[in-house]
Amino acid sequence: MMKRSAFSTIIAMLMFLMISSGCGKNEAQSRADTGKQQGKNMNADSTQNNKIPKVTFFELGSVSCIPCKMMQPVMKAIEEEFGDQIEVVFHDVRKDPATGKKYGIRVIPTQVFLDESGKEFFRHQGYFPKEEIEKLLVKNGLKILKQVEIEK
């Protein structure tokens, strides 16, 4: 039988491990940390100011899905047009089904848009034309920094 003080010590150690490993972070903080790390990796040679993007655009799909493949150049163009105002993230739900479950998707591709606090403000299923995404983002306070044409 375990003594009460030993049990309390074990519980305290487990709580310390959870907090120090990041399990206590909220969605917005985790997303911000991920965005900063991805920004460092993708823009190591550019002048990065580590701003948290105003919008995170999650594409939940698969690399083998035809409409998902059609979304790839759209996502690239949106990322170029809006710069550091937006973070564009692709999740292959066939390789990582947990992400699809987390967002409750039923159809791929599904686009989920989160504000800077991590709160979902819009969702779309299926192919989402670039022009419609631009309208949505501008309506939500982003500015097109440069117009990018999709190669066909």
Does some domain include residue 22? no
Does some domain include residue 17? no
Structure tokens given for 107 = 């159809």
Does some domain include residue 21? no
- Whether the CB-CB separation of 90 and 73 falls below 8 Å is answered with no
Does some domain include residue 3? no
Just list the catalytic residues: 65, 68
CATH number at residue 72: 3.40.30.10
Does some domain include residue 31? yes
Q: What residue numbers bound the domain in which 132 lies?
A: 27-43+50-139
Does some domain include residue 12? no
**In this structure, are strands 86-92 and 120-125 parallel, antiparallel, or unpaired?**
unpaired
Q: What is the pLDDT along the chain (152 residues), one digit of tens a residue?
A: 445 555 455 554 444 433 333 333 334 334 444 443 333 333 333 334 567 899 999 999 999 999 999 999 999 999 999 999 999 999 999 999 999 999 999 999 999 999 999 999 999 999 999 999 999 999 999 999 999 998 76
